[in-house]
Amino acid sequence: MDVLLAGLRAAAEPTRLRLLHLLAQGDLTVTELTQILGQSQPRVSRHLKLMCEAGLLDRFPEGAWVFYRLAAKGAGAILARHLLDLLPAADQMLALDQQRLASIRAGRAEKAQSYFAANASRWDEIRTLHADDIAVEKALIEVFAGRRIHDLVDMGTGTGRVLEVLGPKVERAVGIDLSREMLAMARTNLERAGLRNCMVRQGDIGQLPLPDHSADAVSLHQVLHYAAEPGALVAEAARVLEPGGRLAVVDFAPHDLEVLRDQHAHRRLGFNDAEVSGWVQSAGLVPGPVLRLPGKMLTVVVWTADKPFNGPGATL
């Protein structure tokens, strides 16, 4: 009873209901929320603090930033979802918040796209500063070793390096990326390598231009730290995987190198195993072995997951 009353008291204010509505749609920072709500940072921060204490929201500090989102577990999470169901769909204030959220997201996408375009010619060079690419590529090959791969999808393919590495070992491969500059480089690299079984397509990796169950291997190589909703990308990868297929996620362990956020458009400063495992399981996949590759300043992690034959959409 006490938890229920505390949650109701914490939510019983117009701004806090607006915050619940916004944070049910993904991670947002205080700065982004102040832009949407048109209120001061101290005021928004106080609302967030009270709602976190009541268990309605989760808080994720990352370096100099803090992300908030709707609570994932507990009585507060259940209450928050019930309250969201009661919000009027035609409310004008919520509609305005939605428009402003769309603008925030468009700005994020434009920033990342501008970065990719500006750095297309030296993308591989920048990646080598983060970790030992040779060791990572060997680990990626090992993830799919012993499997006969008919169709590989590389999400956020960039310069096509993953296709170069795995292309000789698969029947067909497609790399998806939104940046024309990146795709131009990828095509050049694949032509140079003579990989005619590999192709690249322009597309949004959040909505892959591919049907369900169309691939038996999917890779997400150094992509999630740019994403506003990493879990959504994992779910999209799971959608295109066929039963028995395997997903490989390559990214950084948690770190505090703010320079990657400030100068290289990284939205997230790495991920822990529990976070990735949560996304994988929510997408209906089974977590597999995890491999860590420490570097001088950053640790690259390779997470694996398989789609069970008895999962959603499986055919026996």
Summarised one tens digit per residue, pLDDT across range 8-61 is 888 899 999 999 999 998 878 899 999 999 999 999 999 999 999 999 998 887
| pLDDT category of residue 316 using cuts at 50, 70 and 90 | very low
| pLDDT category of residue 314 using cuts at 50, 70 and 90 | very low
User: What b/e readout covers 289-298, taking b as 16+ CB neighbours within 10 angstroms?
Assistant: eebebeeeeb
Residue 315 lies in a domain: no
Structural domain of residue 150, as residue ranges?
123-306
The pLDDT tens digits for 82-139 are 999 999 988 999 999 999 998 987 886 676 667 666 765 555 555 555 657 888 999 9
Q: Give which of 9, 8, 6, 39 is closest to 22, Cα–Cα.
A: 39
The pLDDT tens digits for 60-75 are 876 778 889 898 778 9
- Based on the domain organization, do 154 and 230 belong to the same domain? yes
Evaluate if residue 148 carries a pLDDT over 60: yes
Residue 237 lies in a domain: yes
How confident is the model at residue 129, as a pLDDT? 57
- Based on the domain organization, do 76 and 172 belong to the same domain? no
Residue 114 lies in a domain: no
Given strand 299-306, what is the order of strands in its sheet?
A: 198-202, 170-177, 149-155, 215-221, 241-252, 299-306, 286-294
Residue 261 lies in a domain: yes
- Based on the domain organization, do 141 and 290 belong to the same domain? yes
The pLDDT tens digits for 172-193 are 999 999 887 888 888 888 888 9
How confident is the model at residue 3, as a pLDDT? 77
- Based on the domain organization, do 57 and 196 belong to the same domain? no
pTM value? 0.73
| CA 110/CA 117 separation, integer angstroms | 10
- Based on the domain organization, do 133 and 264 belong to the same domain? yes
Tell me how far CA of residue 76 lies from CA of 52, 72, 164, 281, in angstroms: 9, 9, 47, 22
Residue with tokens 């994403």: 227
| CA 115/CA 154 separation, integer angstroms | 20
**Which one has a higher pLDDT value, 309 or 279?**
279
- Based on the domain organization, do 192 and 295 belong to the same domain? yes
Q: How many domains does the chain have?
A: 2
- Based on the domain organization, do 156 and 257 belong to the same domain? yes
Cβ pair 243, 308 in contact under 8 A? yes
Evaluate if residue 6 carries a pLDDT over 90: no
- Based on the domain organization, do 142 and 286 belong to the same domain? yes
Residue 98 lies in a domain: no
Last residue of a domain, one of 87, 104, 139: 87
Residue 162 lies in a domain: yes
| Average of per-residue pLDDT across 260-273 | 87
Residue 101 lies in a domain: no
The pLDDT tens digits for 226-250 are 998 999 999 999 999 999 999 999 9
Q: Give which of 55, 34, 57, 56 is closest to 45, Cα–Cα.
A: 34
| CA 235/CA 107 separation, integer angstroms | 23
Residue 256: CATH number of its domain: 3.40.50.150
Residue 44 lies in a domain: yes
How confident is the model at residue 104, as a pLDDT? 86
| Average of per-residue pLDDT across 211-239 | 96
Residue with tokens 């204030």: 93
Last residue of a domain, one of 87, 113, 131: 87
**Which one has a higher pLDDT value, 165 or 316?**
165
Last residue of a domain, one of 37, 70, 87: 87
How confident is the model at residue 262, as a pLDDT? 79
- Based on the domain organization, do 22 and 167 belong to the same domain? no
- Based on the domain organization, do 134 and 272 belong to the same domain? yes
Residue 38: CATH number of its domain: 1.10.10.10
- Based on the domain organization, do 172 and 294 belong to the same domain? yes
Percent of the chain with pLDDT over 90: 61
How confident is the model at residue 92, as a pLDDT? 93
| Average of per-residue pLDDT across 297-304 | 93
- Based on the domain organization, do 142 and 197 belong to the same domain? yes
Evaluate if residue 157 carries a pLDDT over 80: yes
